[in-house]
Structure 1
Amino acid sequence: MTSTTSNPLWSRRERPLRLECRLEFPDYPATRDFLDRAAALSERTGVHPDISFGRTYVNLTLPADEGATELGESLCRFANDIEALYR
């Protein structure tokens, strides 16, 4: 796993294995802009997180493949790319 495990933005969860994060934004336009950029990233990478959002937040879950005991490289890379979009 890459640096996502040591970054406080993402939390590793077990049963089922996944990464989760909650991102906060100052207003809806900032939230919407992030969602648009995250959607473009998903299309480019083929990684499609579970997303829920409100006016000023986005929750993301990146589930590992069923039965996996480690997070895949593509999920870790996607998590790092999301961090870059958020910063």
Structure 2
Amino acid sequence: MDQWQERKRPVCLERRYEFESYDATRDFLDRLGEFSEATQRFPDISFGKTYVNITLRPESDATDAALTDADRSFAVEIDALFR
């Protein structure tokens, strides 16, 4: 969790993952896609040849929405896909 950046405006968690090759990037994206489908939680993703940026927003769309333990747990599970 230490590499995730918590933002206040807008409320979100952000992290950048770096890879040695395009194949490694694709493998991670495939694992992330399967995990997202299984959990029905879909983070914002942007990527290039050797990096992936992920933004997690609170599941609630309310104006006073805050990050929860479930959001942080989801981030930790994404970290596990990277290893």
The two structures have a TM-score, normalised by structure 2, of 0.89
SS across alignment from 1:42: helix
Which residue of the other structure, out of 25, 44, 53, is the alignment partner of 2:47?
53
Q: Give me the CA root mean square deviation.
A: 1.3
Per-residue CA deviations over 1:4-48 (Å, capped at 9, x if unaligned) read: 3xx1x2000011100000000000000000000000110111110
Which residue of the other structure, out of 7, 20, 23, is the alignment partner of 1:13?
7
In the aligned structure 1, how far is the partner of 2:20 from the partner of 2:52? 12
In the aligned structure 2, how far is the partner of 1:33 from the partner of 1:72? 28
The alignment covers a number of residue pairs equal to 81
Structure 2 spans left out of the alignment, 5+ residues: none
Q: Higher mean Cα deviation, 74-83 or 49-58? A: 74-83
Runs of 4+ in structure 1 off by over 4 angstroms are none
Which residue of the other structure, out of 52, 67, 73, is the alignment partner of 1:77?
73
Q: 1:76 Cα shift?
A: 1.6
**What percentage of aligned pairs have identical amino acids?**
49
Over 3 Å counting, the alpha-carbon distance change for 1:39 and 1:70 in structure 2 is same
In the aligned structure 2, how far is the partner of 1:68 from the partner of 1:43? 27
Q: 1:69 Cα shift?
A: 4.4
The two structures have a TM-score, normalised by structure 1, of 0.85
